[in-house]
Chains A and B, each alone.
Chain A
Amino acid sequence: MSVTISVPDGERVPPEIVASVFYSATVSDNLALVVAESVGSRTRLTWGNVGAVELLGYGLDDLRALPVDHLFPTLGGGELKLLLRRERSARMTLPVRTASGATIEAVVTTTPAPTGRMWTIRIVSTTSEQERALRATADAHERRFSTLTERSPVPTLLSEQGMRLAHVNDAFCTLVGRQAEQLLGTGWIETVHEDDLDGVIEQVSAALDGEEVETQARLLREDGSVRTTVIRFAHLFTPGVGAGFVGTIEDITDRLAFEAQLAHQANHDPLTGLPNRTLLAQYVAARFTPGSSGLACLFLDLDNFKVVNDSLGHTAGDELLTEVADRLAAAVRPGDLVARFGGDEFVVVCENVDQAAAVALAERISVELARPVRLGGVDVRPYASVGVTVQTVEHVTAEELIRDCDIAMYQAKAGGKGRITVLDQRAREEARDKLRLVAELRDAIERREITLLYQPIFSTADGSPVAVESLARWNHADRGAISPAVFIPLAEESGLIAGLGLLVLDETCRQLAEWDRLMGWAAPARANVNVSALQLDQNLPPQVGEALERHGLDPSRISIEITESALMKDPDSAREVLHQLRELGVELAIDDFGTGYSSLAYLRHLPVNCLKVDRSFVAELAHGHTEIPSAVIALASSLGLSTVAEGVETPEQAAELTRMGVTYLQGFSLSQPLTGGHAAAWFAAHGDRTR
């Protein structure tokens, strides 16, 4: 490229212009460069580069004569001065007129020479190919983005600044039922529920700060309805502009409703729609403060429900329950809770009542319930037994309150149907005491404080002791000896029987092994261990096997005693268990025989070795009633079984039973139950190895 610079007479081209010209010329031919000079009142171009010639369409000679204002048609009046400043460079974006008369938009930068009469003018078209392409790409991007969000079914917000929105899509407008114009800027803030707005602003703040966040917020629709949504905010940064966010909204109203429905179903009885036991417990727990008062529970049990169910059918029963639920809900005070506890049991919870008010409510409910209900053409009066408990300082937990009104209801029922009973102090004490005893029994079993006594069993053949029966004893530190008739049913009720049974089995085996070690052949040949009906399952045979193995005993050293009634609970399963025990090699005896109703046919199929004649029949011998013992003994004999007579208290009974042919005798008159140590000494003195 050739560079020619016209130099007016007597003046040198300033070096910065030369530098600028050469720099620009080498940078790009696309860059148009002209030099303007002010002579007198006129300013003309004096030079232009190839880029200028190409851009403007003038020949170099024509360009040289051109008045500058001809190039810039929009700079009317004195505005040329704004572009050609004497003291500093200037920059404008404005139309530049070309030789053809057309204008092109360009960024024009002028730099004055120190004289203030000469300027280099750089003209960069803003509509160059490259720029157009870039703008087209940017426009296409923007269009794609807006199409994407516009058509997207996901409600979307695009921020402008802060909480201000520049854009909302149709889906968002539909969600809140408003038009875009109402939502742009800060308009959308009005759609956010007042209580959720702080949270939204907080999350917007975090998003503007560069985080990706989400929040749950309720949005108010134009029609007044409310939608619950999750709004997710993502950070957006535009260079030179600043930070913004994109918000996408998920409407979770229906999902929450569904979840609420599920939660309702989990906590409510499907038949009556009343809160169920779970919700009742939560409700009472939430309102229970230990040491305070005023909370009352009414426990209702329908007296004749079973009759309705059995005689009129379950549909009628359901109808009755629904009717009762409705009547209860109508009878209680506003704010009271009515729950279905289970079956035909209902609980009403009231707050801020004393005992008199609670009883008055119970009476009102009873009257209301007792109105006839027509079921299957029959009028039924649903009487209820009601137990009432008002919270006292003695109630430590919420469950105690419910449990107490349950007890009160049983008392009401026991006293005759259709009654209302307030739980009295004594009943509460008894119930409490029983609970305490269960806890203490659990501890006693864990610490092996349940001890065993051993009562010798004698052979009628030669009067020698042949075995012992293990008898569990509980010597309570405070209460003294507690009868097995008390603690064994208690263990069965409270799920402790398995542990107790294992303890007895293991301790008996241990004692046998110890006797063997101490006494050798003089040790008792066999020990009888009692098993509860609740232990009679598939776990028993392996437990027995393990105990024998643990103490190195032959299975024949153990005889398992099972009551006749235990066998009759589930005969098939019992027989299966007995067979497994026999396979182990242990002996089996049926305890309390004659007190149950076992059929002889069934008995025949049981793999037992021995029948124990119940002590009540033995006692009757004194009154001359010999029929049952003699029949049992004869039966056993004909089936090839041995017999033990329990509770032998006099020598006469022993003689009579021996005469009847009983195999073994056991009783107070023969020997009291002994501790392990005493038994060893006793057997050493009386023993006669008869294994």
Chain B
Amino acid sequence: MTVTPLPARAEQTPVFDLEKVLASIDTMAAQRPVAAQIVSVANQDDTSAKELSRILASDVALASRVMKLANSAYFGMRGRVTSLQFAVTVVGFTTVRTMATVALTELDDESRLPEDFWDVTTSLALASSALAPRFGERPQDALCIGLLAQMGAALLHHNDPVGYAEVTAEHADFTQRRVAELRRYGINSLRLTAVALEQWGFPHSMTSRLNQVDDFTSLEGGLLRSAFEVAARLTVEDYDTVPVVRLSCGQLREDDLVPVLDQVRADADELRRAMLAD
């Protein structure tokens, strides 16, 4: 990882305490005990759909989102999913866990999020899922990591709304924005996401992708990097495209992105509705 020297402290308002941010996640978890429980049990080997749906049933809002997602076009079940247990089976444990994490970190409260957060996130997640097979990754895990990738950005925004708004306003390009984040907070948003997810026991195989996005030589970071490019093309006005061949370490050509862009556009609204439904 490239170590960017910290700017002189004098230039920055010393508002940001990383420890405090991380501690705040623990506080959030305490406020959403059901979601926290799901995050902790969903990756255990002996967890069953029955057990997970039993816990999930006590968080009505979260349960209804899982149902909605299970019946969305993404899973192709066409409204056949009528029980919560079956919904858990259809979307998979990692997705349930991801949705619980979204609830836990209050990513479902748009008033507390950076502008365009969910537009970017749904595009990122769907693009990541669609491109995953080209990188030998599980589309499902790719969807989840795409849904959670911007959690760090939300945390930064939450703890420094004014400052983070400046960062986003100044840097529409995600790569440049991450450099700015590092400069301002000593950590970029993806790295912060990775740390938090690792803390909650998300598998390293998922979190490591976040750490490798900015290493342009890393094929493993290529998927999310390309997905960010798709998201930027779909959500950023007057975006200067970056050749996807370079971003994907040669795995993708521009032609490959055409169907992906269409598919992401088609599915984004439905995914957003499922993730934010009440």
A interface residues with partner B (beta carbon < 8 Å)? 74, 76-79, 81-82, 85-88, 90-93, 107, 126, 160-164, 166, 180-181, 184-186, 189, 197-198, 201-202, 204-205, 208-209, 239-243
In contact, B91 and A93 (Cβ under 8 angstroms)? no
Q: How far is the CA of A79 from the CA of B190 in the complex (A)?
A: 13
Smallest CB separation, B29 vs chain A (Å): 11
Per-position binary interface string of chain B over residues 105-132, scored 1 when its CB falls under 8 Å from any chain A CB and 0 otherwise: 0000000000000000000000001100
- Write out the residue numbers on chain A whose beta carbons fall within 8 Å of the beta carbon of B208: 93
B182-204 residues at the A interface, CB under 8 angstroms = 182, 186-187, 191, 195, 198-199, 201, 204
Q: Which residue in chain A gives the minimum CB-CB distance to B256? A: A181
In contact, A93 and B207 (Cβ under 8 angstroms)? yes
Per-position binary interface string of chain B over residues 145-175, scored 1 when its CB falls under 8 Å from any chain A CB and 0 otherwise: 0000000000000000000000000000000
In contact, B4 and A76 (Cβ under 8 angstroms)? yes
Interface status of B243 (Cβ within 8 A of chain A): no
Contact sample, A vs B, 11 pairs, CB 8 Å cutoff: A78-B18, A91-B198, A91-B201, A93-B204, A93-B207, A93-B208, A107-B204, A162-B75, A166-B133, A240-B45, A242-B89
Q: Identify which of A163, A166, A240 contacts B77 (C-beta below 8 A).
A: A163
Q: Which residue in chain A gives the minimum CB-CB distance to B263? A: A185
Q: How far is the CA of A78 from the CA of B19 in the complex (A)?
A: 10
- Write out the residue numbers on chain A whose beta carbons fall within 8 Å of the beta carbon of B191: 79
Interface status of B40 (Cβ within 8 A of chain A): no
In contact, A242 and B6 (Cβ under 8 angstroms)? no
In contact, A208 and B76 (Cβ under 8 angstroms)? no
- Write out the residue numbers on chain A whose beta carbons fall within 8 Å of the beta carbon of B92: 161, 241-242
B interface residues with partner A (beta carbon < 8 Å)? 1-4, 6, 18-19, 22-23, 26, 42-47, 49, 70, 73-78, 80-81, 86, 88-95, 129-130, 133, 138-140, 182, 186-187, 191, 195, 198-199, 201, 204, 207-208, 211
In contact, A241 and B93 (Cβ under 8 angstroms)? yes
In contact, A202 and B75 (Cβ under 8 angstroms)? no
- Write out the residue numbers on chain B whose beta carbons fall within 8 Å of the beta carbon of A180: 133
In contact, B4 and A240 (Cβ under 8 angstroms)? no
Q: Identify which of B2, B49, B78, B199 contacts A242 (C-beta below 8 A).
A: B49
Q: How far is the CA of A197 from the CA of B77 in the complex (A)?
A: 10
- Write out the residue numbers on chain A whose beta carbons fall within 8 Å of the beta carbon of B91: 161-162, 242
In contact, A240 and B47 (Cβ under 8 angstroms)? yes
Q: How far is the CA of A85 from the CA of B46 in the complex (A)?
A: 30
- Write out the residue numbers on chain A whose beta carbons fall within 8 Å of the beta carbon of B94: 241-242
In contact, B26 and A88 (Cβ under 8 angstroms)? yes
Q: Which residue in chain B gives the minimum CB-CB distance to A244? A: B92
Q: Identify which of A85, A93, A197, A241 contacts B19 (C-beta below 8 A).
A: A85
In contact, A90 and B19 (Cβ under 8 angstroms)? no
- Write out the residue numbers on chain A whose beta carbons fall within 8 Å of the beta carbon of B198: 91-93
- Write out the residue numbers on chain B whose beta carbons fall within 8 Å of the beta carbon of A162: 70, 75-77, 90-91
Q: Identify which of B74, B75, B81, B89 contacts A243 (C-beta below 8 A).
A: B89
In contact, B195 and A82 (Cβ under 8 angstroms)? yes
Q: How far is the CA of A682 from the CA of B101 in the complex (A)?
A: 115
Q: How far is the CA of A243 from the CA of B77 in the complex (A)?
A: 15
Q: Identify which of A82, A202, A239, A243 contacts B46 (C-beta below 8 A).
A: A239
Q: How far is the CA of A240 from the CA of B199 in the complex (A)?
A: 17
Smallest CB separation, B255 vs chain A (Å): 12
In contact, B3 and A76 (Cβ under 8 angstroms)? yes
In contact, A77 and B93 (Cβ under 8 angstroms)? no
Q: How far is the CA of A91 from the CA of B138 in the complex (A)?
A: 24
- Write out the residue numbers on chain A whose beta carbons fall within 8 Å of the beta carbon of B3: 76-77
In contact, B75 and A240 (Cβ under 8 angstroms)? no
In contact, B78 and A201 (Cβ under 8 angstroms)? yes
Q: How far is the CA of A161 from the CA of B89 in the complex (A)?
A: 8
In contact, A240 and B93 (Cβ under 8 angstroms)? yes
In contact, A208 and B199 (Cβ under 8 angstroms)? no
- Write out the residue numbers on chain B whose beta carbons fall within 8 Å of the beta carbon of A209: 86, 89
- Write out the residue numbers on chain A whose beta carbons fall within 8 Å of the beta carbon of B129: 185
Q: Identify which of B1, B86, B90 contacts A76 (C-beta below 8 A).
A: B1
Q: How far is the CA of A633 from the CA of B187 in the complex (A)?
A: 136
Smallest CB separation, A310 vs chain B (Å): 68
In contact, B187 and A161 (Cβ under 8 angstroms)? no
In contact, B187 and A82 (Cβ under 8 angstroms)? yes
Q: Beyond A93-B208, A208-B86, is A82–B77 a contact (Cβ under 8 Å)?
A: no
- Write out the residue numbers on chain A whose beta carbons fall within 8 Å of the beta carbon of B77: 162-163, 201, 204-205
Q: How far is the CA of A164 from the CA of B74 in the complex (A)?
A: 8
Q: Identify which of B19, B130, B204, B207 contacts A185 (C-beta below 8 A).
A: B130
Interface centre among B76, B78, B130, B208 (most CB of A within 10 A): B76
Q: Beyond A76-B4, A77-B186, is A240–B43 a contact (Cβ under 8 Å)?
A: yes
